[in-house]
Amino acid sequence: MPALHVFDLLRSPEKAPTSGICVLVGSDYFLHRQAIDTILAKASPEGTDNVRCFDDLPEWAEVIDEVSTASLFGGDGIQVAIVPNVDKRTLNREAFLKTNKDRLLKYAKADYHPGLMILEASSFPGNTSLYKKLSPDNRVIDCRIPEPSTWKKPEKAIRTQAVKWVSTWAKKAHDLTLGSDAAELMLELSHSNAGVVEMNLLKLVLLLEEGATVSVQEVQELVSGWHQKNTFEMVDTAVTGNSGAALELLDNLLREGQDLRQIFGGMSYSYRKFVRMTRGMQRHLRQGLTGQQAVQQCIADELGGAAKFRGKFTKGQLSSLGSARMTHFMRWLLEADLDLKNKFSRSSLPLEKLIVYLDREFQPPRAS
């Protein structure tokens, strides 16, 4: 059974566990904190007197004593122990999860739990006995945000939830209104990391008026400023057929010290904008619109009110690219994403390939 995702927990806090063992999975510190705050609001409603946060690699006796002993201060909350990095070795000592796997499984199977043990792990394999015991009861909480290039349907659904979370959190915590497009761009420019999203939202709070509605253009200009603006210019240049000039712009960005992943975030956003318009155009054609009508409608769907300013330019881009080329975009993005994470993590080659793919002289492979 798949883990409960943190966005489902935030939307339905009644699912939060109040005793036994709970494992938070992922390396996004901010989402871990959001999950812990939601759990503690239910498990320890009177505050944190009943909560103890351990350092790395505590002894089992310390942790089990903590969740088995009543608080000296009383109250309705149960005892909560939070143990970080349970899957990491520290100072040549085996990870807490590995050393105590039998004890943890025995504790999880117990009929009665006087307290709650919250374990934080970067990864937690689904084939372990402990995972299989905890997951059906919503005691494994996934705190990871999939990359935008993912092709898996469950991860795409989580990605959609993540975009909604950006909008919801911006309004709730900072009184900023971000539409879905602005929230999606914010998430991409933040490397799909909730903590970076929060830092960028704080930047917008300083730069915009209280209660502002944030546009896509403002996210582009204020979150990454000159660098990101030039990333979008680079993509536009490549689409016009001048990949040489686009490669020069890429070189300028790299010389300025711009991070490869940051540049990829802007390129990915532009690529997927074309994918959305292509799919929209195909949908409108199936509904009986003519080719010209379908193009105009998909541009209006994507750009909204900005269509009257950029509609002609965008139509020219779609014409240059062609729908046959755009059917390959998501695969190319996935390949670039994997390359940047692995064998080309310090090379601009994956980005250079994406630029060349946009040049109208490049002939994409025929669909088999």
Q: Tens of pLDDT along 56-87?
A: 778 999 999 999 876 555 556 688 999 998 99
CATH 3.40.50.300 fits domain 4-142: yes
The architecture in CATH of the region 225-358 reads Up-down Bundle (1.20)
Distance, in Å, from the CA atom of 199 to the CA atom of 6, rounded to the nearest integer, reads 20
Q: What are the boundaries of each domain within the chain? A: 4-142, 153-223, 225-358
pLDDT band at 362 (very low <50, low <70, confident <90, very high): confident
Helix, strand, or coil here: 60? helix
The pLDDT tens digits for 198-223 are 888 988 888 888 899 999 888 888 88
pLDDT at 302: 82
Which amino acid makes up residue 139?
A: R
Distance, in Å, from the CA atom of 241 to the CA atom of 35, rounded to the nearest integer, reads 47
Residue 225: pLDDT over 60: no
Residues whose CB falls within 8 Å of the CB of residue 152, separated by 6 or more in sequence, listed in order: 146
Residue 227: pLDDT over 60: no
pLDDT at 13: 94
Q: Which fold, 153-223?
A: Helicase, Ruva Protein; domain 3 (1.10.8)
| Helices 194-207/180-189 angle, 10° precision | 120
- DSSP calls for 232-272: HHHHHHHHTT-HHHHHHHHHHHHHTT--HHHHHHHHHHHHH
pLDDT at 350: 92
4-142 matches 153-223 in fold: no
Residue 228: pLDDT over 70: no
Distance, in Å, from the CA atom of 119 to the CA atom of 30, rounded to the nearest integer, reads 15
C-alpha separations of 310 from 228, 315, 316 in Å: 19, 9, 10
What strands, in cross-sheet order, belong to the sheet with 51-53? 4-5, 140-142, 20-25, 115-121, 79-83, 51-53
pLDDT band at 98 (very low <50, low <70, confident <90, very high): very high
Considering Cα of 150, then 153, then 156, then 158, what sign does the dihedral take?
negative
Helix ranges restricted to H, 53-100: 60-68, 96-99
Give the torsion through C-alpha atoms of 270, 276, 280, 282, to 10 deg. Answer: 100
Low-confidence winner among 89-98, 113-122, 168-177 (lowest mean pLDDT): 89-98
| Helices 225-239/216-223 angle, 10° precision | 120
Give the torsion through C-alpha atoms of 222, 223, 224, 230, to 10 deg. Answer: -60
Q: Highest mean pLDDT: which of 8-22, 265-279, 330-344? A: 8-22
Report DSSP state, residue 57: S
pLDDT at 11: 94
Distance, in Å, from the CA atom of 184 to the CA atom of 197, rounded to the nearest integer, reads 11
pLDDT band at 4 (very low <50, low <70, confident <90, very high): very high
The pLDDT tens digits for 129-147 are 999 999 999 999 999 998 8
Instruction: Give the mean model confidence (pLDDT) for residues 265-294.
Output: 87
Closest CA to 307 of 296, 318, 319, 316: 296
